[in-house]
Structure 1
Amino acid sequence: MASFSKPRGVFSTLLAIFVLLQVAVASHGAHHAHHMHRSPEFMEAQFDESKRALEERANNIAITGVTGTVGERKEIRDLKKNADQWNLYLLGMERFKAKPHSDRLSYYQIAGIHGRPYQTWNNFPTPLVNNAGFCVHGGTLFGTWHRPFLSIYEQAWFQSVQEVISTFPANQQQRWRNAASGLRMPFWDWAVAPPNGESNVPTLIRDKRVSVTKPQGKVTIDNPLYSFTFGNSLPPEIGGGPWGNWPITLRRPVGNPTRSNNDQVHAEMTKARVSLRDRVYYLFLSKASWGFASTSAIGARTQVSSRDSFESIHDAVHGTVGGPSGGTMYYLDYSAFDPIFWLHHTNIDRLLAMYQQNTPNTWVANGVINHPMAQWNQGESKNEQSPLKPFTKNTRGDYYNSVEVKNTRTLGYFYADASSPQAMRNAVNGKYSGGRNGLRKRTSSSSLPTGQYDGRAIQAGDYHTVLSIVADKFALEGSYTVHCTLGPAAGNSTSNTTAPYTNSTAPYSNSTDEEYAPNYVGGYTVFGGHGNAAPSSNHSVPLLTEGCLPLTTALMGAEAAGTIKSLHPDDIEAYLTQNLHYTVVGLGGAEIPADEIPNFHVYVQSAPLTPASGDEFPSVGEYTKMPSVTANMPGGKPWTYVPGPYDFVSETEEVPSYTSPYGPGASSTSPNYPQGTMVWGRPQDEQGYCVSEQTVVYVDEEGGYLYEEKS
């Protein structure tokens, strides 16, 4: 461990010792500098500087989450059912967002940790290691880094809630304190079927105005979940922004006048929901280790048959909400400023907590930082004990590591769906199976309001088929999305049977409009980009990510219609060759020729399914590729993945031993990195590295012992 716990009462003693050490070093230096004279003024200045340095170090924010009772993070529509808690949530958000930008616990500063304005936070050393944000994407620390990030946001928001309560008359404050007890920020479950005909994107997020109760009574305010306003203009340190440097966050923006198009967000998310639901469900069925299921980085998962991930699913929501017209969520560097980011990421954290119950004896995989970041250089090795910078667990400046955030209750919150293995299975089967496990009672119709097929129970002889997509995260400026349809071609799309792929400049809605929803399978978003500026860092090696779009539900629909005989590869290969289409859409809504995108590959693979027994999940067998389906598509020819210099092929392997094609290596015991690349040899060499051990005991709903997990 890089630093040790010290009682607060010994600060003066520590300061004196520190100064004495400084004096000793100064005296030693003076001996070798011909006895340079140290005046009293110099010594006093040295003392003051040492005191300042120690006080600054002791002034780190201790990220604890909300202290006191451990509270439940609820789905936003469920939180709304408690009127007082919902009121406090909104008023806390309003106050939180109004904090001055100079406040370390302001919405502006905490959101700014993720990407721009590329500035330090919480006494992290300056200058930054690289001119970049702190967010971990496309790496093995994606899931755990965002956990304390969400917690400091929740902690700062809850502080604002307490400040709001103090503004109410004294005889009303106990009512609001009772409401605040156990109150936590909510999540937005974009994959679950909306209850009672509600919208997939709740109006709670989309309405511009909302009614709340303040000390003066009922009033209407700007909905704090609708947008965030930087001010009259973007702060200069942001360095410009999307949509003509517009100073308010936007979703799928349109002009004349400039505004968010939340109706289109709702329409597109409604169309994407079946795909998101299926991706979540089949990821749980994959039983891949937590370390591999959490990250989209292809190099961490070269030995795993299922190559989807929660990060890749997360990317699709960013792309759909932000939209190719350049909304805030479309850009990695700006996305955290949109209030919907926090609702979305809290859901991702929930799914990752649920997945901990699915594969309880797995955790973070070893990995290498594959792009320059504010706190790390490209090429540094990381593992579960690596410090999650810049998130400090105490005022001394000690950083959390992934082991220390494994149990969400240590940060003051829990999710009901992740409270036990049984709760996890009930949630997955009830919310995301689409009746595939045979447990959910189905309606008489298998079609959704969008016209898409809803699915059926998995039967003996069924196969699960996916379109797998490999893409370079930073191949283009901004994000880009691969939209897939299965059925008669709609608009300009890529298939084996249509004319050669053309670069159409037709509006985005022409190729993914609501009228084509019955054939829409889903979208794979490559979430990257730096707003209206080119990337500030040199990505010398491609950052390859991989995800997959399940085709199984759409194939079930084709089977129900009598178009195909079964889901067996022999019965679907010709159908897929004829009817599988995809379109790549980039910034501005223009189609992009897939064969012009570096490192872009698509392929279809299929695996046998075994129906579930009881409330257990169906099992998925080994995948087999179907190269003939995509052989004539751009990016669809067979290819062999060659591990790059920043890939790990094992969870336990600390330093890879393969030979990379990228150039001569630095030594015989380290990976062969490109010339000039800075590499941190071992994770434990990093300043702030701290080895922690944790035992988590799992119990059933009655408190009975189930099992325990050590890490």
Structure 2
Amino acid sequence: MANFSKPQSMVTMLFGLFALLQLTVASQHGHAHSHRSADDLVKAQIDTATHEFAKRDIGPFLAISGVCSTGTNWWGDCDSNGRQSYPRLEIRQLRNNGDQWNLYILGMERFMNKGKDDKLSYYQISGIHGRPFQSWNNFPTPLVNQAGFCPHAQTLFGSWHRPYLAIFEQAWYLAVTEVINDFPADQRQRWRNAAATLRMPYWDWAQDPGNGPTVPTLIRDQQVSVTKPNGQQTIANPLYSYSWGNSLPNEMGGGPWNNNPFTLRRPVANPTRSNNNEMNGRFDSIRVSLRDRVFALFASKQSWGFATTSQIGVRTDLSGSGVDSFESVHDAIHNTAGGETGGHMYFLDVSSFDPIFWLHHTNIDRLMTMYQYIVPDTWVANGNINRPMAQWNEGESKNGGTPLKPFTKGTYGEYFTSGDVRETRVFGYFYPETSDRSYGQVAQAVTRLYGAGVRTLNKRGEPVDEKTGQYLGRPVKEGDYHHVLDITADKFAMAGSYTVHCFIGNGGNSTSNSTAPYGNSTTSAYTPGPTAPAKHNITGEVLEDYDPSKDFTRDPNYVGAYGILGGMKAGGGNASYPIITRGALPLTTCLQGKEYYGELESLKPEHVEPYLQKNMYYKVIGVNGEIDPTTIPNFHVAVKCNKVKPAESEYDLPDLSAPYTVLEKATEKLPAGKPFTYTPTPIDFPSADASYGESTNGGSSNGGNSGYSNNGGNPQYPSNGGSGKPGQSYPNNGVFPYPTLPWHEQGYCNVRQTIKYVYPDGKAAGHEVM
């Protein structure tokens, strides 16, 4: 973005006027929670603005707009007049348009090659998420804490990543325009036409790939053929890895595999390289499980705020349907791509440098956008910051009006809030499943893409996946029960991540008798022997790196993987309390298979509980191999079930919102399987007055004290943001020395949006307050 120089007096006047208008609009939306009069606030802001503006040019901040098809105003913000939005497509669908695919790849290549000092370089934008723990976009230096900006396992997980993806898309698209200008003048219009509707793609890891691989070779190929200004060329595939150069920059503070200077996936040694073949094999094994988790989440009908975060402080009350979250599903993708041998996706603070991160997170944004239409009257829940972060201190209470730092919506430095980004078209995009903005469109898409029983039978006439032998499931029917393995886990219990692998069958097994071919940070079970000739497949990977016959996840009794995504170091950045997360691995499809083959009488709890007690087992694997679950702090498993209400029509989804019942005997003999009740800590209790945008009955509120708190309004929990449960004491009396109400933070803004619906003839059809 360019800065503009104007005569000082005029600039001061313009900036002051802008500040006045800005504050006036914000006041109309309930912006300020203050005892000072509106006149005093206006005067103070004008004085501050004119003083600050005397020291700088207009627009010192980046205006984050996504792809701005209409150009920018003179002050640098995107001109919204006549702006068009276009769909982000699945990567395999984008590939079908040759010109757009070519621009996407060339844009990624240009973007990743920009200098590290460029604010819009791949290096700097990737670095916002975690390491190198540096400021960005004029965010104050030093940072509030030496940490990254990403609010994982926190209430703002879903909304914060939306402007983050938007600035990535914006910077990449800028590189696309630069590429187009490199072409001869008589060819540029062709590429401009292709770019006009181009948006960055997503990778849907849960959809049925048919005869293709779960992880497209588009992501795994080491090289790719492209059309450049001087003709056809073969280049290094920018979706395969990112390179820091000859060495990892010192400010990164270290990285996996002896500070390897390029990103790795499930790495192996001698020489150090990615094992993308094994990664694809592992995604084959968990795809049905991922499909089931996505489908169950959409059928859960829980609040958007609950469904999007794994933070147990937001989701303390799990008596209803809230047993899983999109963030918990997201963790499994990270762990599977990075691998227990320690690839970059396996570590929260360096994961964003792997190009697969962006394809994955765009899909997560897509799923959460689709979910908005399933529960349209809900949005971000309030919760506390649970660990020191780059922009916030531990203990601060946040909600939908919280500024999503460091992402500014204008060149003057005002931050986006969750309320600002509720509609994706703010950033110039939507998804194929949300083009109509309707519940019915999303419900049909969810059933088509993720419903069990949609796929045809295999060659033997059985509903079984030919790659893995897993039962593919059937649609739910009246009288069915949905069963899950409920998992409570400490996010930063150890350095790196860890993964729970679940099995049902063979009369059970002991987790201590491991058959898992795991490695550590320097070796791999799939490293070729020294005399073995290197055979390569079409992706350029060494075939001997992965032998499916040695992969324990290829067992037909394998249910799936549940990931707990951690960082390079244990402890969560000096957090005062463990960062506890919760989620669930669906067991229903596997149990349907046992019923199909006559091993299980029915899916009723009275039949499932003793069957699981005898036949279910699991193992936990981290970077140092298999782990005894009883040695992992705050780790617990349980089996839960609820009764399913089938969909009433093709335009609806099944209902899994009924309360869950714990089947205690199913896990009582398993490690960490004894009955467990979570005891909340002070970090779990934002003020009951801190809510925003949702009320206890599912309707919209105006902020203030009318919405629900993190616990769903349960009166047993304190509302002062400090003390714990009655009769229970915590360090420092459970009081944090930081702001406890969201609007105490500078930049807070309570935004309410009204969407008006009209018929084709222009007559009003109603409106929705968001």
* TM bucket, shorter chain: 0.7 to 0.9
1:195-594 correspondence runs (5 A): 195=210, 197-304=211-318, 305-306=320-321, 307-419=323-435, 420-435=438-453, 444-449=461-466, 450-488=468-506, 493=511, 513-514=551-552, 516-530=554-568, 533=569, 537-588=573-624, 590-594=625-629
Q: 1:162 to 1:18 in 2, by over 3 A?
A: closer
Deviations along 1:262-313, whole A, 9 cap, x unmatched? 0000000110100100000011110001000000011211224231000000
Distance 1:58 1:17, change over 3 A: closer
How far off its partner does 1:60 sit? 0.3
Paired residue total: 662
1:25 is aligned to none
Read off the aligned partner of 1:570 and give its amino acid letter.
E
1:165–1:177: 8 Å Cα contact kept in structure 2? yes
Aligned-partner SS, 2:559? strand
Q: 1:540 to 1:511 in 2, by over 3 A?
A: farther
Q: Which residue is 2:56 aligned to?
A: 54
**Helix, strand or coil: the match of 1:270?**
helix
In structure 1, C-alpha distance between the alignment counterparts of 2:389 and 2:203, rounded to whole Å: 28
More off after superposition, 485-494 vs 353-362:
485-494
Which residue does the alignment assign to 2:68?
A: 67
Counterpart of 2:493, as a letter, is: A
Q: Which moved more, 1:401-410 or 1:513-522?
A: 513-522
Q: Distance in 2 between matches of 1:136 and 1:633?
A: 33
- C-alpha separation in 1, matches of 2:725 and 2:614: 51
Tell me if the contact between 1:360 and 1:709 (Cα under 8 Å) persists in the aligned partners: no
Name the CA distance, whole Å, in 1 between partners of 2:5 and 2:375: 40
| 1:329-370 residue CA offsets vs partner (Å, 9 max, x unmatched) | 000000000000000000000000000010000000011101
1:407–1:685 distance in 2 versus 1, CA, 3 Å: same
Q: Please list every run of 5 or more consecutive structure 2 residues that lacks an aligned counterpart in the other structure.
A: 17-49, 70-83, 527-547, 689-693, 695-706
Summarize deviations over 1:76-119 as a string: whole Å, max 9, x none: 00000000000000000000000000000000000000000000
Shift in alpha-carbon separation, 1:489–1:105, aligned structure 2, 3 A? farther
SS, match of residue 422 in structure 1: helix
Are 2:433 and 2:441, in contact at CA under 8 Å, matched by a contact in 1? yes
Tell me, yes or no, if structure 1 residue 639 matches structure 2 residue 676.
yes
Deviation at 1:610, TM superposition (A): 2.2
Residue 103 (structure 1) aligned to one of 118, 121, 138:
118
Identity %: 52
Task: Kindly provide the amino acid, as one letter, of the partner of residue 686 in structure 1.
Answer: E
In the aligned structure 1, how far is the partner of 2:763 from the partner of 2:599?
51
Q: Could you tell me whether the CA contact under 8 Å between 1:585 and 1:592 is conserved in 2?
A: yes
Letter of the 2:640 partner, please give it.
Answer: Q
**Which residue of structure 2 lines up, in the alignment, with residue 12 of structure 1?**
9
Q: Distance in 1 between matches of 2:504 and 2:204?
A: 26
Asked if structure 1 preserves the Cα contact closer than 8 Å seen for 2:717 and 2:724, the reply is: no
Counterparts of 2:326 and 2:555 in 1: how far apart (Å)?
A: 24
Tell me, what secondary structure is at the counterpart of 2:581? Answer: strand
Alpha carbons of structure 1 residues 528 and 52: separation in structure 2 relative to 1, 3 Å: farther
Contact 1:490–1:516 (CA under 8 A) maintained in structure 2? no
How far did residue 693 of structure 1 move? 1.5
Q: Classify the secondary structure of the residue corresponding to 1:637.
A: coil
- Contact conserved, 2:399 with 2:742, CA < 8 A, in 1? yes
Go from structure 1 to structure 2 and tell me whether the alpha carbon gap of 1:66 and 1:578 turns closer, same or farther (over 3 Å shift).
same
Which stretch shows the higher mean deviation, 674-683 or 343-352? 674-683
Q: How far 1:10 sits from its partner (Å)?
A: 8.5
Q: Does residue 1:628 correspond to 2:646, yes or no?
A: no
Separation of aligned partners in 1, 2:756 and 2:13 = 44
1:543 CA displacement = 1.1
| Residues in 2 aligned to 1:463 and 1:376: alpha-carbon distance in whole angstroms | 42
Q: Which amino acid aligns with 1:493?
A: T
Q: 1:403 to 1:174 in 2, by over 3 A?
A: same
1:680 and 2:739 correspond: yes
Distance in 2 of aligned mates of 1:703 and 1:72: 25
Residue type at the aligned position of 2:462? S
| 1:537 Cα offset (Å) | 2.4
Judged with a 3 Å threshold, the aligned counterparts in structure 2 of structure 1 residues 514 and 633 are, in CA distance, closer, same or farther, namely: closer
Preserved CA contact (<8 Å) 2:285 2:554: no
Q: Which runs of 5+ in 1 are unaligned?
A: 1-6, 20-47
Instruction: Summarize the Cα distance change of 1:700–1:446 in structure 2 as closer, same or farther, 3 Å threshold.
Output: farther
Pairwise CA distance, 1:490: 8.4
Which of 630, 634, 639 is the equivalent residue of 1:599?
634
1:415, CA displacement in angstroms? 0.3
Return the TM-score normalized by structure 2: 0.81
Query: Mean Cα displacement is larger for which, 351-360 or 517-526?
Result: 517-526
Question: 1:35: which partner in 2?
Answer: none
Deviations 1:558-612 (A, max 9, x none): 0011001110011111110011111011113x11111111111100001111222
Query: Structure 1 residues 410 and 504 mapped into 2: Cα distance closer, same or farther (>3 Å)?
Result: closer
- Give 1:257 deviation, angstroms: 0.6
1:642 shift after superposition? 1.4
Q: Distance in 2 between matches of 1:233 and 1:92?
A: 24
2:649 paired residue number? 614
Deviation by residue 1:357-395 (Cα, 9 ceiling, x = unmatched): 100000000111011100000000001000000000001
Measured against aligned partners, the alpha-carbon deviations of 1:216-268 in whole angstroms (never above 9, x if no partner) come to 11100000000000010000100110111000000000011110000000000
Give the letter for the 2:212 counterpart. E
What is the CA–CA distance in structure 1 between the aligned matches of 2:165 and 2:760, rounded to whole Å?
Answer: 27
Structure 2 distance, partners of 1:704, 1:232, is 63
Structure 1 distance, partners of 2:416, 2:308, is 19
Task: Write out per-residue CA displacement over residues 416-438 of structure 1, whole angstroms, 9 at most, x where no aligned residue.
Answer: 11232222112100010122xxx
For residues 41-92 of structure 1, the C-alpha deviation after alignment (integer angstroms, 9 at most, x for no partner) is: xxxxxxx99667433x831000000012312100000000000000000000
Q: 1:690 to 1:291 in 2, by over 3 A?
A: same
Specify the SS of the correspondent of 1:189.
coil
Contact 2:559-2:590 at 8 Å conserved across structures? yes
SS in 2 for 1:151: helix
Q: Is the 8 A contact 1:430 1:440 kept in 2?
A: no
Conserved 8 A contact 1:271-1:514: no
Aligned 8 A contact 2:315 2:710 in 1: no
SS in 1 for 2:177: helix
Q: Which residue of 1 aligns with 2:702?
A: none
CA contact (8 A) 1:451 1:518 kept: yes
TM-score normalized with structure 1 length: 0.87
SS at structure 2 position matched to 1:454: coil
Displacement of 1:643 in angstroms is 1.6
Distance 2:5 2:748 in 1: 23
- 1:85 alignment counterpart: 100
Q: Deviations over 1:22-58 (max 9, x none)?
A: xxxxxxxxxxxxxxxxxxxxxxxxxx99667433x83
The offset of 1:654, in angstroms, is 5.3
CA apart distance, 1:665: 4.5
Secondary structure of residue in 1 paired with 2:555: helix
Indicate the residue corresponding to 2:37 in structure 1. Answer: none
Aligned residues of 2:311 and 2:582 also touching (Cα < 8 A): yes
SS, match of residue 362 in structure 1: coil
